[in-house]
Amino acid sequence: MKAPAFAYVKPASLPEAFELLQHPNAKILAGGQSLIPSLNMRLSSPELLVDITGLPGLSEIKVLNGFVRIGTLVTHTRIEQSPEIKKHIPLLAQAVPHIAHAAIRNRGTIGGSLALADPAAEYPACAVALEAVFILKNKTTERRVKAEQFFKGLFETDLKPGEILTAAEFPVAGKSDRSVFLELTRRQGDYAIIGLAVHNSNFVYFGAGSMPVVAKNASSKKTLKEAKAALAKDLNPPADLYHSSATKLHLAGVLLERAWNMLTT
Amino acid sequence: MGKAELPLHAPGTKLDRGYIGQSVPRPNAQRLLQGRGSYVDDLRFPRLAHVVFYRSPHAHAKIKRLDFSKGLKSEGVIAILDGRAVAEYCTPWVGVLAHLKGIKSPPQHAIAIERACWQGEAVAAVVAETRAQAEDALGLIEAEWEELPAVIDMQESLEGKKIIHKEFADNICFSRQHDTGGVDEAFAAADVVVEETFEFGRHTGVCLEGRAILADYNAAEHSLTVYHSTQAPHMMQDIFSRHLGIPEASVRVIARDVGGSFGIKVHVYPDEMATAALSVMLRRPVKFVADRLESFATDIHAREHKVKIKMAVSRTGEILAFDLDDLSAIGPYSVYPRTSGIEGNQVVNLTGGPYKHRKYRAKLNVVFTNKNVTCQYRAVGHPIAVALTEGIVDKAAAKLGMDPAEFRRKNLIPDDAYPYTFPSGIKFERLSHHQTLNKLLDLMSYKKLREEQEVLRKQNIFRGIGLAAMIEVTNPSPAFYGVGGARISAQDGATLRLEPTGMVTVMCSVTEQGQGTEGIFAQIAASAVGVSMDKVRVITGDTGVTPYGGGTWASRGAGIGGEAVLLAGRALRSNMLEIASKILNLEKETLDIGNNAIIGKLTQEKKMPLEELGRVAYFRPDTLPMDFQAELTVTRHYTPRQYGFTFTNGIQASLVEVDPDTGFVKLLKHWCVEDSGTVINPMLVDEQLRGGVVQGIGAALFEECLYSPEGQLLNGSMADYLVPMSGEMPDIICAHVETPTLQSQLGAKGVGEAGTAGAPGAVMNAINDALAPLNARVTAMPFTPERILRALAKA
Ligand SMILES: Cc1cc2nc3c(=O)[nH]c(=O)nc-3n(C[C@H](O)[C@H](O)[C@H](O)COP(=O)(O)OP(=O)(O)OC[C@H]3O[C@@H](n4cnc5c(N)ncnc54)[C@H](O)[C@@H]3O)c2cc1C
ipTM: 0.96
Q: Which residue of B has its CA nearest to A39?
A: B132
Query: Is the model's pLDDT at A106 over the cut of 80?
Result: yes
Q: What is the pTM of this model?
A: 0.96
Query: Is the model's pLDDT at B11 over the cut of 80?
Result: no
Say if B710 falls within a structural domain.
Answer: yes
Overall average pLDDT of the B690-719 stretch: 98
Say if B425 falls within a structural domain.
Answer: yes
- Give the closest residue to B259 by CA, choosing from B2, B635, B514, B50: B514
User: In this prediction, what percent of chain B has a pLDDT beyond 70?
Assistant: 98
CB contact under 8 A, A241 and B794: no
**What integer pLDDT is reported at residue B4 of this predicted model?**
35
Positive or negative, the Cα torsion across B325, B422, B104, B336? positive
Number of domains in chain A: 3
- Residue numbers in A near B786 (CB within 8 A): 242-244, 247
CB contact under 8 A, A247 and B795: yes
Same domain (yes/no): A248, A189:
yes
Residue A77 alpha carbon to ligand 1 centre in Å: 13
C-alpha span between A200 and B575 (Å, rounded): 84
Say if B544 falls within a structural domain.
Answer: yes
C-alpha span between B666 and B664 (Å, rounded): 6
Phi/psi region, residue B46 (left: phi>0; alpha: psi -120 to 50; beta: rest), is: beta
Say if A32 falls within a structural domain.
Answer: yes
Same domain (yes/no): B543, B449:
no
Question: Are B326 and B89 a contacting pair, CB within 8 Å?
Answer: no
Say if A254 falls within a structural domain.
Answer: yes
**What integer pLDDT is reported at residue B596 of this predicted model?**
96
| B556-608 pLDDT tens trace | 999 999 999 999 999 999 999 999 999 999 999 999 999 999 999 999 999 99
User: In this structure, are strands B492-498 and B606-609 parallel, antiparallel, or unpaired?
Assistant: unpaired
Residue B719 alpha carbon to ligand 1 centre in Å: 14
Question: Are A184 and A206 a contacting pair, CB within 8 Å?
Answer: no
Q: Which of A3, A42, A184 sits opposite B662 (nearest CB)?
A: A184
- Give the closest residue to B551 by CA, choosing from B230, B262, B243: B230
Domain span at residue A134? Answer: 61-171
Residue A121 alpha carbon to ligand 1 centre in Å: 9
**What integer pLDDT is reported at residue B328 of this predicted model?**
98
* Cis? peptide before B337, omega within 30° of 0: yes
C-alpha span between A49 and A52 (Å, rounded): 9
> What's B701's DSSP letter?
I
Question: Looking at CA atoms only, how far is residue A22 from chain B in angstroms?
Answer: 26
C-alpha span between A196 and B95 (Å, rounded): 52
Residue A132 alpha carbon to ligand 1 centre in Å: 19
Same domain (yes/no): A92, A138:
yes
DSSP H/E element including B326: strand B319-329
Q: Residue A76 corresponds to which amino acid?
A: H
Using CB atoms within 10 Å of the CB of residue B219, give its burial: 0 to 12 exposed, 13 to 18 middle, 19+ buried. Answer: exposed
User: In this structure, are strands B319-329 and B359-367 parallel, antiparallel, or unpaired?
Assistant: parallel
- Residue numbers in B near A187 (CB within 8 A): 702, 722, 724-725, 727-728
| A23-55 pLDDT tens trace | 999 999 999 999 999 999 999 999 999 999 999
Overall average pLDDT of the B676-681 stretch: 96
Say if A253 falls within a structural domain.
Answer: yes
Q: Whose alpha carbon is nearest atom 2 of ligand 1?
A: A100
Same domain (yes/no): A45, A74:
no
What sections of B361-403 are H helices per DSSP?
382-400
Q: Is the CB of A3 under 6 A from ligand 1?
A: no
Query: Is the model's pLDDT at B653 over the cut of 80?
Result: yes
Same domain (yes/no): B461, B519:
no
Question: Looking at CA atoms only, how far is residue A253 from chain B in angstroms?
Answer: 10
C-alpha span between B644 and B424 (Å, rounded): 13
C-alpha span between A111 and B625 (Å, rounded): 84
**What integer pLDDT is reported at residue B767 of this predicted model?**
98
HSE, CB side, 13 Å, CA atoms: give it for residue B580. 27
Same domain (yes/no): B665, B619:
no
Query: Is the model's pLDDT at B37 over the cut of 50?
Result: yes
Q: Is the CB of A49 under 6 A from ligand 1?
A: no
Same domain (yes/no): A66, A102:
yes
Residue B480 alpha carbon to ligand 1 centre in Å: 51
Overall average pLDDT of the B772-791 stretch: 98
C-alpha span between A114 and A165 (Å, rounded): 9
Overall average pLDDT of the B421-444 stretch: 97
Out of B244, B279, B298, pick the residue that ends a domain: B298
Overall average pLDDT of the B273-289 stretch: 98
Overall average pLDDT of the B438-447 stretch: 98
Query: Is the model's pLDDT at B1 over the cut of 60?
Result: no
Same domain (yes/no): B421, B460:
yes
> What's A204's DSSP letter?
E
Q: Which residues have a Cβ under 8 Å from the Cβ of A5 and sit 6 or more positions away?
A: B132, B136
| B305-338 pLDDT tens trace | 999 999 999 999 999 999 999 999 999 999 999 9
**What integer pLDDT is reported at residue B5 of this predicted model?**
39
| B391-405 pLDDT tens trace | 999 999 999 999 999
Query: Is the model's pLDDT at B2 over the cut of 60?
Result: no
CATH number at residue B684: 3.30.365.10
Out of B598, B620, B638, pick the residue that ends a domain: B638
Say if A83 falls within a structural domain.
Answer: yes
Q: Which residues have a Cβ under 8 Å from the Cβ of B249 and sit 6 or more positions away?
A: none
- Residue numbers in A near B662 (CB within 8 A): 184, 251, 254
> What's A146's DSSP letter?
E
Residue A223 alpha carbon to ligand 1 centre in Å: 38
Q: Is the CB of A253 under 6 A from ligand 1?
A: no
Q: List residues of chain B with CB under 8 Å from any CB of chain A.
A: 130-132, 135-136, 139, 291-293, 661-664, 701-702, 706, 714-715, 717, 719-720, 722, 724-725, 727-728, 784-786, 789, 794-795
Residue B27 banded pLDDT, cuts 50, 70, 90:
confident
Same domain (yes/no): B452, B431:
yes
Alpha carbon dihedral B772, B775, B776, B777, in 10-degree steps, equals 60
Same domain (yes/no): B68, B212:
yes
> Any bridge partners for residue B673, and if so which?
B651, B735
CATH number at residue A190: 3.30.390.50
**What integer pLDDT is reported at residue A265 of this predicted model?**
77
| B353-400 pLDDT tens trace | 999 999 999 999 999 999 999 999 999 999 999 999 999 999 999 999
> What's B480's DSSP letter?
T
Query: Is the model's pLDDT at A104 over the cut of 70?
Result: yes
| Displacement of CA B673 from its chain's centroid (Å) | 20
Q: Which of A1, A244, A254 sits opposite B293 (nearest CB)?
A: A1
| A216-229 pLDDT tens trace | 999 999 999 999 99
User: In this structure, are strands A194-199 and A133-137 parallel, antiparallel, or unpaired?
Assistant: unpaired
CB contact under 8 A, B728 and A188: yes
C-alpha span between A147 and A199 (Å, rounded): 14
Domain span at residue B422? Answer: 381-477+642-791
Q: Which residue of B has its CA nearest to A191?
A: B719
Positions of E strands within B622-675: 633-638, 648-659, 664-675
Query: What is the rounded average pLDDT for all residues in chain B?
Result: 96
DSSP H/E element including A63: strand A61-63
Nearest atom in ligand 1 to the alpha carbon of residue A30 is 30
Same domain (yes/no): B575, B658:
no
Q: Which residue of A has its CA nearest to B793?
A: A247
CB contact under 8 A, A251 and B662: yes
Say if B648 falls within a structural domain.
Answer: yes
C-alpha span between B682 and B685 (Å, rounded): 5
HSE, CB side, 13 Å, CA atoms: give it for residue B789. 20
Question: Are B190 and B312 a contacting pair, CB within 8 Å?
Answer: yes
Distances in whole angstroms, Cα of residue A167 to Cα of each of A49, B258, B513: 20, 46, 49
Backbone angles phi, psi at B592, to 5 degrees: -150, 175
User: In this prediction, what percent of chain B has a pLDDT beyond 90?
Assistant: 97
Query: Is the model's pLDDT at B15 over the cut of 80?
Result: no
**What integer pLDDT is reported at residue B240 of this predicted model?**
98
Overall average pLDDT of the B459-466 stretch: 98
Q: Whose alpha carbon is nearest atom 5 of ligand 1?
A: A100
Out of A118, A149, A171, pick the residue that ends a domain: A171
| B39-96 pLDDT tens trace | 999 999 999 999 999 999 999 999 999 999 999 999 999 999 999 999 999 999 999 9
CATH number at residue A139: 3.30.465.10
Say if B160 falls within a structural domain.
Answer: no
Residue B9 banded pLDDT, cuts 50, 70, 90:
very low
**What integer pLDDT is reported at residue B795 of this predicted model?**
83
Three-state SS at B772: helix
Say if A2 falls within a structural domain.
Answer: no
CB contact under 8 A, A2 and B795: no
